[in-house]
């Protein structure tokens, strides 16, 4: 399980860097400053949660069940939160109106919060 979590953390981190560079260079002229900030928020939260998974995968005192839950919550949360922000920021570039999927952004945020809560609860419950 640890290997899977760390591998996914590396994937999220690498794609966050790629998307951040893409936003800073390719999208700079295409998006308004407000929409570029929305895109960057998605990148930041993706990277924050890559680091959360890296930490989680390296901590031996976190139960396997908790690690699985954190991985599932982060994977789904990043997809919903950051993914929807990427599409919402680039909405003007597509014929589909991505504002219709905007409802999943706060759901993704709640899933990310839940991942942190699961981590917190398992750290305070861990036997020394």
pLDDT tens per residue, range 98-126: 678 888 999 999 999 999 999 999 988 87
> What's the domain range around 102?
2-125
What separation in angstroms does the CA of 75 have from each of 3, 50, 81, 125? 15, 9, 10, 24
Cα-only R_g, the chain: 16
Q: How far apart are CA 39 and CA 36, in angstroms?
A: 5
pLDDT at 128: 62
Q: What is the pLDDT of residues 17-63, one digit of tens each?
A: 999 998 888 888 888 889 889 999 999 999 999 999 999 999 988 88
pLDDT at 20: 93
Number of domains in the chain: 1
């Amino acid at each position: 399980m640890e290997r899977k979590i760390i591998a996914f953390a590396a994937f999220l981190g690498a794609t966050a860097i790629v998307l951040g560079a893409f936003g800073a260079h390719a999208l700079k002229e295409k998006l308004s400053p407000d929409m570029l900030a929305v895109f960057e928020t998605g990148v930041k939260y993706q990277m924050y949660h890559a680091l959360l998974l890296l930490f989680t995968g390296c901590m031996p005192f976190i139960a396997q069940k908790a690690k699985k839950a954190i991985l599932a919550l982060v994977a789904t949360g990043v997809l919903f939160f950051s993914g929807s922000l990427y599409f919402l920021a680039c909405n003007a570039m597509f014929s589909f109106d991505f504002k219709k999927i905007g409802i999943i952004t706060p759901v993704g945020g709640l899933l990310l919060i839940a991942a942190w809560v699961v981590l917190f609860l398992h750290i305070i419950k861990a036997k020394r």
